[in-house]
Structure formats: structure tokens, C-alpha cells
């Protein structure tokens, strides 16, 4: 299989979207019964958290936590949007910076102006898209970003997308001061997210059971194993603990002088995909195979290049005094082991 493939199916009645690149599972989205990222609430300010600069707010789905609040009084209604999944025992994280995001357009109420994705380099196309945006929005009080998918999009479809997001934003903002907590917009599920964010050309398969026929179920089963095999008999392990995600690289039977560097580079290239598929985030510590300090720059360059294309926000913190490499990754997905029992 050479072409990219998107499979839209269900597992035990749960919506699932999978993206395969050259037959290898590259991304996986699985629905849950928890509030989805992107969900918008009219929440009610509850109580501030001293020392953290935040406040708990009430939503119809339970408490949520809002950081960096100013001038917000208990009992006041406020629009908030879910930014990710909560850590165990903690409230759902939310923000007041609301985004209305679709395949071609993002409406940004708090950031006026019309903008085109930097990924679109063709100046004539950028001018054409800006003209289309002005025709649909005019001089907006809210902002509009035209996404990179517009480069291959039909102008009529782009215009329709802009109108849909503009009208949705207007309806939600008009309902911001209602009484009591209320869910105003549900976050997108896996199938909608695949349409929205997996914009590259791909064959889309929607036949029931396609996850099995395309081999996705087998690859998901492999993700339940902490061990990831490497060439030449090496392997690496990726194991979540309560505090962090531990990654351990082993060279196996390879005793050549460059064995450690080769194993570490192979792990670095595959790490973003493995974290993405397994739904792992938070603090990540890499216990690498032995390699000379002079090779650290090559390793860092490879690791940064691998994460550059990853959609999940990840900060590469650097080396610890013990020679471990540390990362901090946004928790925008639940662990695979939690969503598929």
C-alpha cells in the first residue's frame, strides 16, 4: 500500500479514525465519553484558587479549571473551551480564548484580522484567499485564519466553511450571558477531526470493518506492548508511570561502536508517532543507550526534526545532569489503554 489511507470505522460502537501512511499506522483518534477538546460551555465562575492565579468554574459536565483569570467574580457567567483531557483526579482544563475551527477556516473572536496560513507560499493564491475572506467577513470585529488546506480547496467550499464558522461564532457569542451553565458546542469527534485536520490527499475508507481489513486492529494490538523493536536486535520501551512517561533504549546484541547512536536515532525518529498513537503526554524522560557526548547534537537535531511535523504541542526541555533527555508534551489525548480496554 503506497497511498495514504484514512479509515473511518467503529470499535465496539465507539467512533474511531485511523490514518495509515504506506500501510503503517500514523495517527489514531478514538472517541470517549469525556468532554471532548473544543467543547464550548457557558460556565459559571465558582471559586478562585489562591496562589495559582486560576479559578474553578461550573459546567453541566462537572467542574473545570481556568488559568490566569482577572476581574472574574464568583457567580459570573463566562464562555470557556475545553483544551484537553484532565489528569486523574483533576478538573477539566479550559480557556477563555475561544476558537471556532473547521477544515478551511478558524474564527478567532479575541484576535481581529484576516490571516492566511504561512504554509501557503504562493502570493497570488494568498491574495485570492484574502479577497474571498473579505467578501465573506468584510471588516470583522473577530478574526479569521484561513488554514493550509485552502491551498487545494474549492473556493465555494472555502466560502461556505467561512460562513458556517462565522454564523456559529455569532450564535455562541450571543448566548454568552445566559443563565446557568450550558454546553453550547460539542467538540468534534474522531470522524469530524479526520476531515478537519487530516487535510493531505488520501484514500478514505468507510466500509464497516475496514479497521480489520486494513490491518489497523493488528497494529493497535501491538501498541499495547511497551516494547518497540529496532533493527539489529535492539529495542526500546515506552512505559507510563504516575509521574512521567519513561523511555528506555537498548542496543540488544549490537556491540559495534556506533550501536548506541544508531538505536537512539531510530527511537527519536519514531517517538512522536508512538506517543501520538499511545495517547501519552506530560513529562517524558528518555533514558538513552550509551553514546559519546559529541553525538548529542546529532541526536537533538534528529529529535527536533521528528517533532516538527507532530500536531501535538511538545517542548524539548533538554539534558538532565544524569544524561537523560526530557520533554514536556500537552495532554490532548487519553492513553490508549484507558480508551480501549
Per residue in 226-254, pLDDT (tens digit) is 999 998 788 999 999 989 999 999 998 88
- Tell me, what CATH number does 239's domain have? 3.40.630
pTM listed for this prediction: 0.89
Provide the terminal-to-terminal Cα distance of the chain, rounded to the nearest Å.
29
Q: Are residues 233 and 317 in the same domain?
A: yes
Q: Among 67, 95, 123, give the residue marking a domain's end.
A: 95
What is the maximal distance between C-alpha atoms in the chain? Answer: 69
Q: Are residues 52 and 136 in the same domain?
A: no
Top pLDDT among 138 and 259 is at: 259
Q: What share of the chain is helix, strand, coil (3-state, %, to 5)?
A: 30, 30, 40
Q: Are residues 237 and 332 in the same domain?
A: yes
- Tell me, what CATH number does 181's domain have? 3.30.230
Q: Are residues 105 and 91 in the same domain?
A: no
Q: Are residues 261 and 171 in the same domain?
A: no
Picking from 188, 275, 196, 262, the residue whose alpha carbon sits closest to that of residue 230 is 262
- Tell me, what CATH number does 70's domain have? 2.40.50
Q: Are residues 241 and 295 in the same domain?
A: yes
User: What does the pLDDT read at residue 139?
Assistant: 65
Q: Are residues 235 and 166 in the same domain?
A: no
Q: Across residues 137-165, what is the average pLDDT?
A: 90
DSSP string covering 182-229, please? Answer: EEEEPPP-HHHHHHHH--S--EEE-STTHHHHTTHHHHHHHHTSSEEE
In this structure, the number of other CB atoms found within 10 A of the CB of residue 72 comes to 14
Q: How is residue 127 written as a grid cell?
A: 491574495
Q: Are residues 157 and 248 in the same domain?
A: no
Report helix, strand or coil for 78. Answer: strand
Top pLDDT among 253 and 16 is at: 16
Q: Are residues 232 and 246 in the same domain?
A: yes
Residue 129, domain extent: 100-188
Q: How many domains does the chain have?
A: 4
Q: Are residues 67 and 44 in the same domain?
A: yes
Q: Are residues 263 and 239 in the same domain?
A: yes
Q: For 271-293, what is each residue's pLDDT tens digit?
A: 999 999 999 999 999 999 999 99
Q: Across residues 87-111, what is the average pLDDT?
A: 92
Q: Are residues 329 and 228 in the same domain?
A: yes
Q: Among 76, 95, 114, give the residue marking a domain's end.
A: 95
Q: Across residues 181-187, what is the average pLDDT?
A: 96
Q: Given a cut of 50, is residue 208 above it in pLDDT?
A: yes
User: pLDDT averaged over the chain?
Assistant: 92
Amino acid at each position: 500500500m503506497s497511498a495514504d489511507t484514512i479509515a473511518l470505522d467503529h470499535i465496539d460502537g465507539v467512533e474511531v479514525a485511523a490514518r495509515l501512511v504506506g500501510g503503517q499506522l500514523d495517527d489514531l483518534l478514538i472517541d470517549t465519553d469525556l468532554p471532548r477538546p473544543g467543547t464550548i460551555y457557558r460556565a459559571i465562575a465558582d471559586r478562585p484558587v489562591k496562589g495559582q492565579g486560576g479559578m474553578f468554574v461550573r459546567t453541566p459536565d462537572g467542574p473545570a479549571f481556568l488559568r490566569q483569570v482577572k476581574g472574574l467574580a464568583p457567580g459570573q457567567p463566562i464562555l470557556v473551551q475545553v483544551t484537553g483531557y484532565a489528569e486523574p483526579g483533576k478538573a477539566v482544563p479550559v480557556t477563555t480564548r475561544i476558537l471556532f475551527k473547521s477544515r478551511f477556516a478558524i474564527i478567532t473572536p479575541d484576535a481581529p484580522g484576516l490571516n492566511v496560513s504561512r504554509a501557503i507560499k504562493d502570493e497570488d493564491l494568498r491574495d485570492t484567499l484574502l479577497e474571498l475572506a473579505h467578501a465573506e467577513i468584510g471588516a470583522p470585529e473577530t478574526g479569521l485564519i484561513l488554514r493550509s488546506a485552502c491551498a487545494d480547496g474549492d473556493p465555494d467550499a472555502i466560502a461556505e466553511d467561512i460562513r458556517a464558522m462565522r454564523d456559529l461564532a455569532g450564535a455562541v457569542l450571543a448566548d454568552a450571558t445566559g443563565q446557568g451553565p450550558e454546553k453550547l458546542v460539542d467538540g468534534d469527534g474522531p470522524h469530524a477531526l479526520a476531515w478537519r485536520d487530516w487535510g493531505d490527499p488520501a484514500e478514505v475508507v468507510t466500509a464497516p470493518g475496514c479497521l480489520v481489513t486494513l490491518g489497523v486492529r493488528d497494529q493497535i494490538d501491538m501498541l499495547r506492548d511497551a516494547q518497540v523493536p529496532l533493527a539489529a536486535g535492539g529495542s526500546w520501551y515506552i512505559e507510563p508511570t504516575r509521574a512521567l512517561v519513561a523511555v528506555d533504549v537498548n542496543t540488544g546484541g549490537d556491540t559495534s561502536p556506533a550501536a548506541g547512536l544508531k538505536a537512539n536515532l531510530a527511537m527519536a525518529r519514531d517517538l512522536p508517532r508512538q506517543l501520538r498513537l499511545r495517547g501519552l503526554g506530560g513529562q517524558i524522560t528518555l533514558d538513552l543507550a550509551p553514546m559519546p557526548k559529541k553525538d548529542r547534537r546529532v541526536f537533538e537535531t534528529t529529535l527536533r526534526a521528528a517533532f516538527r511535523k507532530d500536531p501535538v504541542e511538545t517542548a524539548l526541555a533538554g539534558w538532565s545532569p544524569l544524561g537523560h533527555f526530557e520533554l514536556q508534551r500537552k495532554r490532548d489525548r487519553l492513553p490508549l489503554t484507558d480508551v480501549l480496554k
